[in-house]
Amino acid sequence: MSARTETLQAMPCSPEMERGVLSCMMQAPEWALAKAQETVQADHFHSPAHRLLFRLMAEMSRDGLPVEPTAIQQLLMDRRQMEAVGGPATVAEIYTFSPTPVNVTHYASQVREKAMLRRVVLAAYDALSDVQCSQDDPEGVLSRFEASALSLRGERAADELTMDGRAALLATIDKLENQMLRQEPDGVPWGLPQLDTRTGGISPGLTIIGAETSGGKSVLATQAAVALLRAGKQVDFYSLEMPIDLCIRRMLAHIGNLPFGRLRNPVPALTDGELTDFHRALREFLTFADLLRICADGGKTAEGIHDETRRRHSSGKPVGAVIVDYVQRLQPMDTRASSEQQLTDASRMLKRLADALTIPVISPVQLNDAGQVRGSRMLGMDCDLFVKIGHQKDEDTNEPAPGDEQGRRSCTLWVEKNHNGERWFGIPALLDGARMRFTED
């Protein structure tokens, strides 16, 4: 017996659950048949006989024929398929198998789970065969296996993103009750009270932070990263314009309320007061350091980040949020496409990642002199939350107005788009670029 034959015979399956689905369909075809078809397809059944019966009942329902044992047996005999399902007694046994048709959704979900496990087994077997045939191409073998695993994860994610109305309602009510019981908001607070109240905080979905050059977009992204880490979220931070050590120094400046310049170039040495604040920042950072992953690879594409995150997520290392600083610095997925199309593709890929994993994906974007997203308007269209940082300008130079005695610059956080509530409003704020933080004015 070949290895593949042994593999196929040992495939995960549940004949009882498969018979349960078919039994419910026969007992209550007027509603159970449709419920079963919402969850499973014929190919999800391991038994060829069960696949045949599922297809047959679906066909009979479409044609307006009665879906009951006698009619099914007659059609099987007319088509000379009775022996393929095990004979007339098999049909009668399946009809009485389930004690009640109300369990159809449970049976069907179990059949689908076993089908997914069979796909995993076959993917692993194909990977083993690939290894044996391509031992001189380990990178190619790994890439093909990763592509296969991601494909399976994508199919499962698509299933999880599709629900019937009743199931969606029940899931929503459960979430509402849990939120009310624990008094926990849906989003993680930015640390800006008005922004948190009116937007719901940092919520799952694609958030775009827009600003002109040196307008504070990376500062707000850093503030979001620290807020998410404090909330216990695993954060993947992609810095496409600065090295890792500067990202860490920015976070420490924010946490310790220290001037970033003093941490970037501590000459002369930090004062006693600055050292006290620095050590306090270090202690807090260490409480969530294991939740942070920083990548400063400037060669990343949106597709690469999408695939990498999905792969890590599916390997048992759930990602709580992704920050990409900033999107216009991503490498194009298709170098032949126009710059606008390249940004559009990146936007769609980041949006897909946020929706598939139900996590916040935050990306600062560069605005042009007219205050519009540079390169592609699609970034503003795809996002769930668009926060634009607007600065007061000097009337003579059209440059940002000078800061106060502490170096803080007045600005407005304009919320132009918000799927979680109101939009088109501004919140007065102060940008303390030296200490890497925004506060509300």
pLDDT tens digits along 413-438: 999 999 878 889 999 999 999 999 99
Judging by DSSP bridges, how do beta strands 235-239 and 360-366 pair with one another?
unpaired
Is pLDDT above 80 for 252? Answer: yes
Q: What percent of the chain stands above pLDDT 70?
A: 88
* Residue for token pair 């719901």: 200
Task: Provide the pLDDT for residue 3.
Answer: 47
Judging by DSSP bridges, how do beta strands 360-366 and 385-391 pair with one another?
unpaired
Q: Which residues have CB under 8 Å from 40's CB, separation 6+?
A: 21, 54, 108, 111, 112, 115
Cα distance between the two ends of the chain: 76
Q: How confident is the model at residue 196 (pLDDT cuts 50, 70, 90)?
A: very high
Q: Which residues have CB under 8 Å from 240's CB, separation 6+?
A: 296, 298, 300, 324, 325, 326, 329, 330
| Mean pLDDT, the chain, integer | 86
Higher pLDDT, 206 or 9: 206
Q: Exposed (0-12), middle (13-18) or buried (19+): which is 431, by Cβ within 10 Å? A: buried
Domain ranges of the chain: 3-160, 187-440
* Nearest to 389, CA basis, from 326, 333, 331: 326
Is pLDDT above 80 for 392? Answer: no
Q: Which residues have CB under 8 Å from 200's CB, separation 6+?
A: 185, 186, 187, 420, 421
Euclidean distance between CA atoms 141 and 1, whole angstroms:
26
Instruction: State which fold the 3-160 domain adopts.
Output: DNAb Helicase; Chain A (1.10.860)
3-160 and 187-440: same fold? no
Q: Domain 187-440 is in which class?
A: alpha beta
Structure tokens at 186: 């849906």
* Residue for token pair 């939350």: 385
* Residue for token pair 């078919």: 22
389 within 8 A of 209, measured Cβ to Cβ:
yes
Judging by DSSP bridges, how do beta strands 385-391 and 409-418 pair with one another?
antiparallel
* Nearest to 239, CA basis, from 283, 312, 292: 292
Higher pLDDT, 127 or 236: 236
DSSP helix/strand/coil, 188: strand
Phi, psi of 9 (to 5 degrees): -70, -30
Instruction: List, for residues 118-168, the tens digit of each pLDDT value.
Output: 888 888 888 888 888 888 788 777 777 776 766 666 555 555 556 667 666
Show the CA angle centred on residue 128, arms to residues 125 and 129, nearest 5°. Answer: 90
Structure tokens at 376: 């592609």
Instruction: List, for residues 38-63, the tens digit of each pLDDT value.
Output: 888 898 999 999 999 999 999 998 88
Task: Provide the pLDDT for residue 123.
Answer: 82
Higher pLDDT, 171 or 408: 408
Mean pLDDT of 332-361: 87
Write out the DSSP string of 372-427: SBSS-THHHHH-SEEEEEEE-B-TTT-SBPP--TTS-EEEEEEEEEETTS--SEEE
For the full predicted model, state whether its pTM sits above 0.75: no
Residue count of the chain, please give it: 441
Is pLDDT above 80 for 344? Answer: yes
Mean pLDDT of 335-356: 87
Higher pLDDT, 254 or 31: 254
Is pLDDT above 90 for 314? Answer: no
Radius of gyration of the chain (CA): 28
Is pLDDT above 60 for 9? Answer: no
